[in-house]
Amino acid sequence: MSDSYAQPNREWWVQQWIDVLERIGFTQRLARARNYARQGNVLSIEFEGAEVTAIVQGTAPEPYEVSFSLDRFTDEQWDYVIESMAERAIFSAKLLAGEMPQNIQDVFTANGLSIFPFDKSNIHSRCSCPDPANPCKHIGAVYYLLGDRFGEDPFVLFQLRGRTKDEIISALRQIRSSGQETTTSNSAIVRQATPLNPDQFWHYCDQLEPSLIVITPSPSSETVLDVLGLLPVKVEPPANQAAMEALKLIYQSVGMEAVRMAMAIET
């Protein structure tokens, strides 16, 4: 197996998947898991709907059985997401062509969701090994190998959240088809709309609908530090870079905690 985890130009969604796993607090254990993944200890990995099952060879003669899944989105949540995809022509066109749009995370965050797990509470895994820790190195190896699978087929991310590639493409085609049928009537409605009154443009007297207030996480792992660059201090470059990495972890932790507090997520 190639050492894909050391490649700087991996796909953005694979990198974000790895970033999430390394942020959940099992850095040392996951380092051992990377070695397991590199050395080919994951003997098989299969998808049964939205659940992943794998066979991982450990130090014992008999390999261990691993299962893995994420929280699935509800049908209503998927309907909102797919409608958002259909509203953006470039997303719809790329998905119908079997490609993953660059900013696909945007349509999930716009609906208060994330295609990637927030933290370990969104990840459900089990291993038949005697290690009580979760993730053990066998589960961790499957985590990393899933990153490779996402690189080959990014639509597997959708499948883990409850919708297959074919289901999403079929729904998009249906929305596009119904949209073409209503284009004429929608145009007539627009032409008959009442002109805006400039004096009342900034006034809104009705109560806001709570469901319209959406709290979303950042669509990327970038912080203000990425924008500002290295610290303007007189230290050796390695020390400056180490300080930047430490601060970046703090910024990411603070950002995730802010989202949890805003959404009242229990930790």
Residues 18-52 have pLDDT tens digits of 887 777 655 666 777 888 888 888 999 998 888 99
Answer for the pair 110, 6: CB distance below 8 angstroms, yes or no: no
Partners of 67 in the β-ladder = 53, 126
pLDDT tens-digit readout, 193-243: 556 677 766 666 666 555 555 566 565 556 666 666 666 666 666 777 777
My answer on whether 81 and 158 are in the same domain is: yes
151 located within any domain: yes
My answer on whether 27 and 138 are in the same domain is: yes
My answer on whether 148 and 229 are in the same domain is: no
In the chain, pLDDT over 90 holds for what percent of residues? 17
Judge whether residue 258 has pLDDT over 80. Answer: no
Would you place residue 6 in the very low, low, confident or very high pLDDT band (cuts 50, 70, 90)?
A: very low
My answer on whether 82 and 176 are in the same domain is: yes
My answer on whether 162 and 69 are in the same domain is: yes
72 residue type, one letter: R
My answer on whether 226 and 163 are in the same domain is: no
d(CA 139, CA 257): 25
Chain centroid offset of residue 24 CA: 14
188 located within any domain: no
My answer on whether 112 and 21 are in the same domain is: yes
pLDDT tens-digit readout, 156-189: 888 999 998 889 888 888 887 776 555 445 555 4
Q: Which of 40, 34, 27 is nearest to 6 (CA)?
A: 34
The per-residue b/e assignment along 116-131, b for 16 or more CB within 10 angstroms, e otherwise, is: bbbbbeebebebebee
171 located within any domain: yes
Number of domains in the chain: 2
Q: Which of 208, 16, 215, 210 is nearest to 111 (CA)?
A: 215
Chain centroid offset of residue 17 CA: 7
157 located within any domain: yes
Answer for the pair 31, 168: CB distance below 8 angstroms, yes or no: no
My answer on whether 17 and 142 are in the same domain is: yes
145 located within any domain: yes
| DSSP letter for each residue of 30-68 | HHHHHHHHHTT-EEEEEEETTEEEEEE--SSSSPEEEEE
Domain range for 244 is 222-267
154 located within any domain: yes
254 located within any domain: yes
pLDDT tens-digit readout, 47-106: 888 899 999 998 899 999 999 999 999 999 999 999 888 888 787 777 777 677 777 888
